[in-house]
Amino acid sequence: MSVAPYQAVLFDLDGTLLDTAPDLAGAINDMRLERGLAPMPLAELAPLCSFGGRGMLGKGLDLRPEDDDYSAAYDAFIETYRGRMTRDTRAYDGMRELVRELTEAGCAWGVITNKMEALALPLMTHMAFDPAPACVIGGDSAGVAKPDPAPMYLACERIGVDPARCIYVGDSDRDVAAGRAAGMATIGVAYGYIPPGDDIHGWNADVVVDTVADLLPAIERLKQIRFSTAKTAPQ
């Protein structure tokens, strides 16, 4: 496979690169048990995992950011999650092989997530991808989170690549919006954490895929769409 002229493929973390739902849901269920509440099924919690602590607290404890006790509950959730975030989290099947193929083809790879950097960095270190990502950008790394494009620009700056020669892969409209705003090609993944009623085809991603196995063909298709039309002018 050849991904040139793309310089980097960048991934969202939760629901795109890693299946983190078991530990995110596990953390909110730990808090429910502390409150004498029965645990909720993973299938009910997983679609909200893309929203991190806010999604888990909203679904699991019916708490919103405007509630008086939200801030304390959020801090408690983060610490609960921190204590178990590597327990059941796994890379999606085929993802380790994918990033290895990308690197062997001369394409860098990295992570841009809205998960705070203090969680994203140790999680990615624990996951021990080989080769390691060229960058891990958290939701607080650039001072603003997706859908603002600032994290995308920061990733490109750290890797030394042109945003117009990058692909961003994610499982939310925020991911696609941030990638598009930065001038990147975008891929939406239907296997991720997508809330009921959210139409992935309405995000305006360049390509939508159903599985990790579909990502390499999608990257090749994007290369054809973006770069194959350039022709040498007649002399």
Q: Which residues are catalytic?
A: 12
Other CB atoms within 10 Å distance of the CB of residue 184:
27
- Tell me which amino acid residue 120 is: A
- Tell me which amino acid residue 92 is: Y
Q: Mind giving me the DSSP string for 104-163?
A: HTT-EEEEE-SS-HHHHHHHHHHHT-SSPPS-EE-TTTSSS-TTSSHHHHHHHHHHT--G
CB 218 within 8 A of CB 207: yes
Rounded Cα distance between 40 and 29, Å, is 7
Tell me which residue has tokens 């705003």: 181
For residue 108, the SS3 value is: strand
DSSP 17: T
Other CB atoms within 10 Å distance of the CB of residue 106:
11
CB 136 within 8 A of CB 123: no
Tell me which residue has tokens 């939200």: 70
